[in-house]
């Protein structure tokens, strides 16, 4: 369970996987947000610490109103990234397409 409740289920809703302290992840979140995209953020290595995710979201300028409305969710990874078995490093934006998870450019 994440800090803003359960991730929303929706076709084509992207998931952003990242780690605290990674500047590249801090750049991806605002880019998704500024495009108006709703997304679910998963923090790998959060140690189930809600404060850690919230602090990261503040540093990345994630809009708290969009988190409260569910347009953006903040979640603990809980092994989800590994379960997707996708190639490449973090951070990553992934989306489910025809039942398959795919990395987005």
Residue with tokens 């992207």: 14
φ, ψ for residue 32 (rounded to 5)? -65, -45
Residue 24 has pLDDT above 90, yes or no: no
DSSP label at 7? P
Summarize the confidence of residues 26-50 as an average pLDDT. Answer: 89
Pairing of strands 72-76, 100-103: unpaired
44-98 pLDDT per residue, tens: 988 899 999 898 888 888 999 999 999 999 999 999 999 999 999 888 999 999 8
Residue 71 structure tokens: 């347009």
SS3 59: helix
The pLDDT, as a whole number, for residue 61 is 86
Peptide bond into 73 cis (omega under 30): no
The pLDDT, as a whole number, for residue 23 is 65
Distance of CA 50 to the CA centre of its chain: 14
The pLDDT, as a whole number, for residue 56 is 85
């Amino acid at each position: 369970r994440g800090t803003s409740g359960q991730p929303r289920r929706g076709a084509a809703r992207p998931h952003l996987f990242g780690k605290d302290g990674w500047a590249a992840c801090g750049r991806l979140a605002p880019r998704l947000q500024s495009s108006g995209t709703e997304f679910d953020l998963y923090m790998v290595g959060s140690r189930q610490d809600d404060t850690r995710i919230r602090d990261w979201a503040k540093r990345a300028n994630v809009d708290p109103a969009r988190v409260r409305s569910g347009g953006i969710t903040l979640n603990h990874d809980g092994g989800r990234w590994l379960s997707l078995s996708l190639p490449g490093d973090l951070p990553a934006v992934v989306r489910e397409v025809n039942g398959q998870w795919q990395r987005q450019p």
